[in-house]
């Protein structure tokens, strides 16, 4: 590990827990709450399995989410500074989806005034969930290979323009509640079992193709992903799911069968903050070229 550079992320990417530990990544949590409950910190105060169980049992109790505040970022910056870190690479959910990026920028400005020997780079991933995680895994690998700070930062800006984040939800109800789609679209999807394949482009949800049936939508999502990849062996690929592991395994197997891809496909549970807006059964694939 390059001890001269530290990596800090917000929790919306849901980087696999083993990689958080392996690469010594610091994670700044988002917050969420159900009606009549306290505010909880993602990945700190609440088990993800229990979160999705609550959503299934009380579908009308749509979680409310909020981003890290300036002090949350400053606390982590201070922790890393106390360890001797002076160069920070910080990545966040898309600035169009949350204020996390802006609060990180504000914290950076305060911290750099406080300590004149630090260098903090804050970058919006322009996406979230599995696409954000793919980017952050790539950053961890670059830091681990002892690349120069400025070289890494320039590479990240190039990577951000080429991230793919594709996903399918099991129910359009939660996206409607979060304002991502209209009521008529949600009703129609429920009525005829439409499972649209969607993607995030610069922080905005874009439907790609309307598919009838769950399995067909998963297969179509992989077909679309493969059609965009020139050399799959250069890709960092991660699949995230919200309590639908069998579907994640199906996607992995189908991807390998279609491409003969023999490298690692990373996996993690879709995090609470993104899952609050997509619901149980949501699943996605994120990929970006390995730097």
> What is the DSSP pairing of strand 164-168 with strand 26-28?
unpaired
Q: How far apart are the first and last CA of the chain?
A: 17
Alpha carbon distance 156, 160 (integer Å): 6
47-94 pLDDT tens trace = 999 999 999 999 888 899 999 999 999 999 999 999 999 999 999 999
Q: Are 41 and 178 found together in one domain?
A: no
Alpha carbon distance 205, 201 (integer Å): 7
| Contacts for 38-45: CB closer than 8 Å, 24+ residues apart | 39/66, 42/11, 42/271, 42/272, 42/273, 43/11, 43/271, 43/272
Q: Which CATH number covers residue 94?
A: 3.40.50.10170
What are the tokens at 252?
A: 């992995």
Q: Are 52 and 15 found together in one domain?
A: yes
Count of domains forming the chain: 2
Q: Are 14 and 155 found together in one domain?
A: yes
Q: Are 17 and 141 found together in one domain?
A: yes
Is 247 within 8 Å of 283 (Cβ atoms)? yes
104-141 pLDDT tens trace = 999 999 999 999 999 999 999 999 999 999 999 999 99
Q: Are 261 and 236 found together in one domain?
A: yes
For residue 204, which phi and psi values (nearest 5 degrees)? -120, 135
Q: Are 23 and 154 found together in one domain?
A: yes
Q: 176 is in which domain, residue-wise?
A: 164-289
pTM of the model: 0.93
Q: Are 38 and 139 found together in one domain?
A: yes
Q: Which CATH number covers residue 192?
A: 3.30.1180.10
How many CA atoms are closer than 13 Å to the CA of 66, on its beta-carbon side?
12
Q: Are 187 and 154 found together in one domain?
A: no
pLDDT band at residue 207 using 50, 70 and 90 as cut-offs: confident
Q: Are 9 and 150 found together in one domain?
A: yes
pLDDT band at residue 187 using 50, 70 and 90 as cut-offs: very low
Q: Are 180 and 168 found together in one domain?
A: yes
Higher pLDDT among residues 195 and 197, named by residue: 197
* CA nearest to 85, candidates 38, 121, 53, 118: 118
């Amino acid at each position: 590990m390059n001890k001269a550079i530290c990596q800090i992320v917000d929790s919306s990417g849901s980087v696999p827990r083993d990689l958080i530990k392996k690469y010594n990544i610091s994670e700044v949590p988002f917050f969420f709450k159900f009606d009549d409950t306290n505010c909880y910190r993602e990945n700190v105060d609440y088990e993800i399995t229990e979160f999705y169980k609550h959503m299934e049992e009380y579908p009308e109790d749509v979680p409310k989410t909020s981003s890290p505040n300036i002090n949350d970022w400053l606390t982590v910056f201070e922790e890393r500074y106390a360890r001797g870190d002076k160069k920070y690479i910080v990545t966040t959910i898309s600035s169009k989806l949350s204020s996390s990026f802006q609060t990180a920028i504000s914290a950076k400005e305060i911290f750099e005034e406080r300590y004149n020997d630090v260098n903090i780079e804050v970058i919006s991933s322009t996406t979230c969930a599995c696409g954000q995680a793919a980017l952050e895994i790539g950053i961890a690998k670059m830091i681990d290979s002892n690349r120069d700070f400025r070289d890494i930062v320039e590479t990240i800006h190039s990577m951000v323009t080429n991230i793919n984040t594709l996903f399918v939800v099991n129910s359009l109800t939660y996206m409607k509640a979060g304002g991502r789609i209209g009521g008529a679209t949600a009703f129609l999807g429920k009525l005829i079992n439409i499972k649209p394949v969607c993607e995030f482009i610069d922080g905005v949800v874009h439907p790609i193709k309307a598919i009838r049936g769950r399995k067909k939508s998963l297969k179509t999502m992989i077909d679309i992903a493969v059609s965009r990849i020139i050399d799959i062996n250069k890709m960092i690929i991660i699949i995230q799911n919200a309590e639908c592991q069998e579907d994640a395994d199906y996607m992995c197997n189908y991807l390998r069968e279609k491409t003969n891809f023999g490298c690692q496909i990373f996996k993690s549970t879709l995090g609470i903050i993104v899952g609050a807006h997509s619901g149980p059964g949501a699943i996605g694939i994120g990929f970006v070229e390995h730097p």
